[in-house]
């Protein structure tokens, strides 16, 4: 089946669904200028995740994580939602069909695109806390420490180590957010998976839950994923190109 037919099939899946949940990964933000992790040229090619993104290593060499964070921050600050983010916002705001986005991303682009219910299962860079006294910080405060050359940033109250509220390897995912995500997958009639290699657990257990509970599944990804074989429709390509095509086909079907 060619891509045009798959796009039509995807639009038909969306048309007959009323409780759609989206599950997104770093690939959806690549066309906004933020590299993903595992593609050629991705973040983990430059920064070994075992050195830069594990909780245990953060406690020993926090300057490594904060150096990587500083480079990513400049990309995230200038990044704009791309047509794939905007397509998901339209599915919520115009069609009322998309009920929630479960994202592994910490770039805030879904909220900036206009979606109102976003479950950030890998945490957020919007807030940080001191690991010693638990003092909370907004990202603007932490960015100011970094801009003053403080790497790693230290708590002004107790000199403790400051860490963003993103989930590093070896850290527990936020239990309440994961519970909500599971409930949403079970309530869904369609799961749309965009821009994820589906290789990192427990996040990737959510699409598996959708398969186990008989949900319809649409995948839009540049490369093949381990879940493609279970999808009703799996489309290979760039989300920023594919998603608007699906939305314009949906518009024709509905009008």
Q: Which of positions 14-73 make contact with ligand APR (CB under 6 A)?
A: 25-27, 30-31, 36-39, 42
Reply yes or no on whether 122 is catalytic. Answer: yes
How many Cβ atoms from other residues are within 10 Å of residue 1's Cβ?
9
Closer to ligand APR by Cβ: residue 67 or 132 = 67
**What is the DSSP pairing of strand 118-120 with strand 123-130?**
unpaired
Of 59-67, 132-140, 177-185, 218-226, the window that binds ligand APR (rule: CB under 6 A) is 218-226
Spot the catalytic one: 85, 110, 122, 138.
122
* Smallest gap from residue 45 Cβ to ligand APR (A): 10
Q: Are 221 and 84 in contact (CB under 8 A)?
A: no
SS3 220: strand
Closer to ligand APR by Cβ: residue 178 or 238 = 238
Residue 90-129 contact track with ligand APR, rule CB under 6 A, x = bound: --------------x-----------------x-------
* Smallest gap from residue 135 Cβ to ligand APR (A): 25
* Smallest gap from residue 158 Cβ to ligand APR (A): 29
In sequence order, what are the residues at sequence separation of 6 or more whose Cβ sits closer than 8 angstroms to the Cβ of residue 6?
A: 233, 234, 235
d(CA 168, CA 68): 13
Q: Residue 192's beta-bridge partner residues?
A: 22, 218
Closer to ligand APR by Cβ: residue 24 or 155 = 24
Closer to ligand APR by Cβ: residue 130 or 206 = 206
d(CA 66, CA 185): 34
* Smallest gap from residue 141 Cβ to ligand APR (A): 24
- What's the order of all strands across the beta sheet hosting 162-166? 136-138, 123-130, 162-166
Handedness of CA 137, 139, 140, 146 (dihedral sign): positive
* Smallest gap from residue 199 Cβ to ligand APR (A): 6
d(CA 30, CA 34): 5
Q: Residue 179 class from Cβ within 10 Å (0-12 exposed, 13-18 middle, 19+ buried)?
A: exposed
Closer to ligand APR by Cβ: residue 135 or 209 = 209
**How many residues contact ligand APR, by CB under 6 A?**
23
Which parts of the chain fold into alpha helices (H)? 3-15, 43-46, 49-52, 55-60, 62-78, 83-93, 109-113, 139-147, 175-187, 205-212, 239-254
Q: Which of positions 181-210 make contact with ligand APR (CB under 6 A)?
A: 195-197, 199-200
- Among 101, 181, 234, 238, the residue binding ligand APR under the rule CB under 6 A is 238
Closer to ligand APR by Cβ: residue 38 or 97 = 38
Active site residues: 122
Binding site for ligand APR (CB under 6 A): 25-27, 30-31, 36-39, 42, 104, 122, 195-197, 199-200, 221-223, 238-240
């Amino acid at each position: 089946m060619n891509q045009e037919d798959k796009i039509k099939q995807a639009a038909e899946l969306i048309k007959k669904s009323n409780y759609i949940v989206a599950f997104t990964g770093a690939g959806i933000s690549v066309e906004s200028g933020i590299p993903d992790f595992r593609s050629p040229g991705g973040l983990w090619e430059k920064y070994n995740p075992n050195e830069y993104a594990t909780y245990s290593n953060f406690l020993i060499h926090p300057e490594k994580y904060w150096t990587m964070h500083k480079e990513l921050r400049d990309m995230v600050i200038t990044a704009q939602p791309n047509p794939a983010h905007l397509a998901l916002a339209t599915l919520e705001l115009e069609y009322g069909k998309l009920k929630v986005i479960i994202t592994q991303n910490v770039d805030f682009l879904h909220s900036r695109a206009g979606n109102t219910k976003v479950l950030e299962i890998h945490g957020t860079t919007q807030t940080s806390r001191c690991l010693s006294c638990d003092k909370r910080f907004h990202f603007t405060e932490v960015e100011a420490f970094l801009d003053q050359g403080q790497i790693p940033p230290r708590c002004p109250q107790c000199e403790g180590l400051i860490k963003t509220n993103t989930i590093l390897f070896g850290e527990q995912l936020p239990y309440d957010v994961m519970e909500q995500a599971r409930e949403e997958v079970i309530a869904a009639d369609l799961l749309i998976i965009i821009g994820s290699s589906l290789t990192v657990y427990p996040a990737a257990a959510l699409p598996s839950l959708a398969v186990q509970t008989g949900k319809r599944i649409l995948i839009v990804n540049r490369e093949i994923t381990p879940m493609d074989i279970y999808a009703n429709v799996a489309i290979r390509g760039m989300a920023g190109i594919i998603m608007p095509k699906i939305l314009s086909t949906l518009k024709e079907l509905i009008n």
